[in-house]
Chains A and B, each alone.
Chain A
Amino acid sequence: MDRENLTQEESMEVIRQMISMSRRKFGESGFHFLLWGILVIAAALVQYFLIMQGFGPESNWVWVAMPIIGVPIAVVYEMRRQRREQVKTKFDNIYATLWQGFGIALLLIIPVSLLMRVNPIPFLLILIGLATFVSGAIVRFVPLKVGAVVFWITAVLSLWLKDADLLLAYSAAVFLGYVVPGLMLRKRFKAESGV
């Protein structure tokens, strides 16, 4: 590939070939959806069990364990993934920025809700729904958009649920909105990367 002074047709052919060669499916493996989905479900079910055993607000501490376990795993995974990646597209940047913004909003919603003495879960569900919906559009994966709708419906239903039942509803929503699409994404990723 060292020709100079290409003809117009040759130039267009080079552009077409290169763009077609670099076109790739968005490499979302579903890892983060599975990781956080499983951790959220585990935390919600453990807290539900504790409430059933008669524990009070101290059962909320179970949620602290979630980032302590999840963040190091997620960081190590991302570092390894970025080491493998040779190319970064605009979509990679948009996707990463979306979830960074989600993380910041999450860190704000929880203390603000608690200071206002309201349950943060419905607001979290709305926020998770938004991030999941946009992710579905970025990675072109409809199950994520469906999952987002499940989060939003659960947020509305939570108006009629008590705290313990809300935890069960939260677990079911995360299972349908994160774990199921995460498993489907993983299957698609493996099929595309020939693993």
Chain B
Amino acid sequence: MWCRVSCCASGSKLKAVFKPLDPLLTSELRLAVMSLLIAAEQAEFVYLKERTGATSGNLSVQVQKLKSAGYISVKKSFKGNYPQTTCKVTTAGVDAFEKHVEALESYIKPRS
């Protein structure tokens, strides 16, 4: 969905077109997790924790939110004797991420 915003600069009227941001991806940790999964496709919880520097508790909460939105799938299994959580970006997640990046670009480089 597009929204049209008018703004004035140095007396001249500029029209810029902005796209709405995805509220789920305006959180730093959720955006970081999505970025990592977009780059890797599939990663273990431990890998996400190491790369983001987040605590297990906080990361679990954010991963759950992304899962509830259908942006990622979470699979629990065992690696040897240890439990393993693997996160994978879904097609809906890829679409949402791409739209979010497009929206960010529209703010940074507004179309005239």
Contacts and interface: CB of A to CB of B under 8 A. Distances in A.
A and B: bona fide binding partners? yes
Contacts of B16: none
Contacts of A2: 27-29, 54, 58
Contact of B104 (A4, A11, A21, A86): A11
A88 B27 contact: no
A4 B51 CA distance: 18
Interface stretch (B4-12, B42-50, B66-74): B42-50
A128 to B, nearest CB: 28
A3 B27 contact: yes
A89 B40 CA distance: 4
Interface of B is mostly: helix
Contacts of B28: 1-4, 6, 10, 14
A193 interface: no
Contacts of A65: none
Given A14-B31, A14-B32, A89 B104 contact: no
Interface in A87-108: 87-90, 93
A11 B102 CA distance: 12
B39 interface: yes
Contact of B79 (A6, A11, A14, A83): A83
Contacts of A8: 21, 104, 107-108
24 contacts: A1-B54, A3-B27, A4-B27, A4-B28, A5-B26, A6-B27, A6-B31, A8-B21, A8-B104, A11-B31, A14-B28, A15-B35, A15-B101, A17-B32, A17-B35, A18-B39, A21-B36, A22-B35, A22-B39, A83-B80, A86-B44, A87-B44, A89-B39, A93-B41
